[in-house]
Structure 1
Amino acid sequence: MAIETNQIVSLEYEVRDGDTVVDSNLGAAPLVFMFGKGQIIPGLESGIQNMAIGEKGDILVKAEDAYGVHNPDAKQEVPKDQFAGIDLEEGMTLYGQGEDGNTVQVVVQEIGDESVIIDFNHPLAGKDLMFSVTISNVRDASAEEAMSGIPAENKQEDGCCSSSDASSSSCGCD
């Protein structure tokens, strides 16, 4: 049975760029997301659509369906003084806030005397990725999950960490 839009999917994965593991949640909590809402990369979402609970599979996701093709124009020269207090190194990843308020990830490409060239491409842009996945669970979303788009497993309890239960491992805040 195919996974349907608005169902909650839990999966374990390992993703490789060639022979290099670039991300994995094996042995940890599963990735939990609402299917059909763009919460994971499109190529992985379409690749698991016809999988069932307990099924394992390898899914090759082409760059354009993962983190996009590498854009050589996605670079910017920034005055070096904007990085005051940061021990810059070429290749390091930095996070900032974009004009829309969302988090932006950049990679330091070159460090000059007066300026720094940063690359806005995702580090995995332009790369075909191999995902090895296991579907742990598929379930229908509750009415609240369907409205919010947030699976219950990913929802933070309001005030959890400020309560007297903050030391409780069931809080998830330790």
Structure 2
Amino acid sequence: MTDSMVIDASSEVILHFDLKLEDGSAADSTRVNNKPAKLVMGDGSLTANFEDCLLGLKAGDKKSFTLSANDAFGEPNPNNIHYMEKSRFGADLEVEEGMILAFSQPDGSEIPGIIRSVAGDSVTVDFNHPLAGQTVIFDVEIIDVKPTNLQ
């Protein structure tokens, strides 16, 4: 580990994070299973605003920052709300509001959907990120920083 290596636009970063909502409730944490996250700056997996908050940090640094919905997981998109026939879920599955189910995509990948309501034979499924529309607070602890070959 190189203590002087700071996070820049092409770093690989190992970090622990705690993700909270504005009311203080926990949304996610790498500490639960003591498995730090690995991310590559600039690979598109994080928003630019999230990455900007990490720039200049180095191993051992701790920082807390707040991101608005647009800077974190985005605002809910009404086009990601779908209405489906209850019969599509199979007779053995008791579909209930609040359930998160995996839905197969045409390419074979899966996407999670949250059951928002069940009314008669109609089921409303929300494919927005569960934290869409939320302001979130990230507490990060940088464990290691390495250069990457991304350019």
The aligned residue for residue 12 of structure 2 is 8
Return the structure number with greater helix share. 1
Return the alpha-carbon distance in structure 1 between the equivalents of residues 9 and 109 of structure 2: 25
- TM-score of the aligned structures, taking structure 1 as reference length: 0.74
Greater fraction of residues in strand: 2
Deviations 1:70-116 (A, max 9, x none): 22343111011111132211011111123454421211011122121
2:78 alignment partner in structure 1: 72
Tell me how far apart the structure 2 counterparts of residues 72 and 135 of structure 1 sit (CA, whole Å). Answer: 36
Q: Bigger relative contact order, structure 1 or 2, given CA contacts below 8 A and separation 6+?
A: 2
1:32 alignment partner in structure 2: 38
Match of 1:53 in 2: 59
Please report the RMSD computed on the Cα atoms of aligned residues, expressed in angstroms: 2.1
Percent of aligned pairs sharing the same letter:
28
Please say if 1:111 is aligned against 2:115. Answer: no
- Work out whether residues 6 and 145 of structure 2, in 8 Å CA contact, stay in contact via their aligned partners in 1: no
Paired with 1:126 and 1:99, the residues of 2 have a C-alpha distance of 27
Residue deviations 1:14-50, cap 9 Å, x none?
0001210100012612101211112234432221112
Q: Gaps (5+ residues) in structure 1?
A: 148-174
Evaluate the alpha carbon distance shift between residue 98 and residue 46 of structure 1 in structure 2; reply closer, same or farther with a 3 A threshold: farther
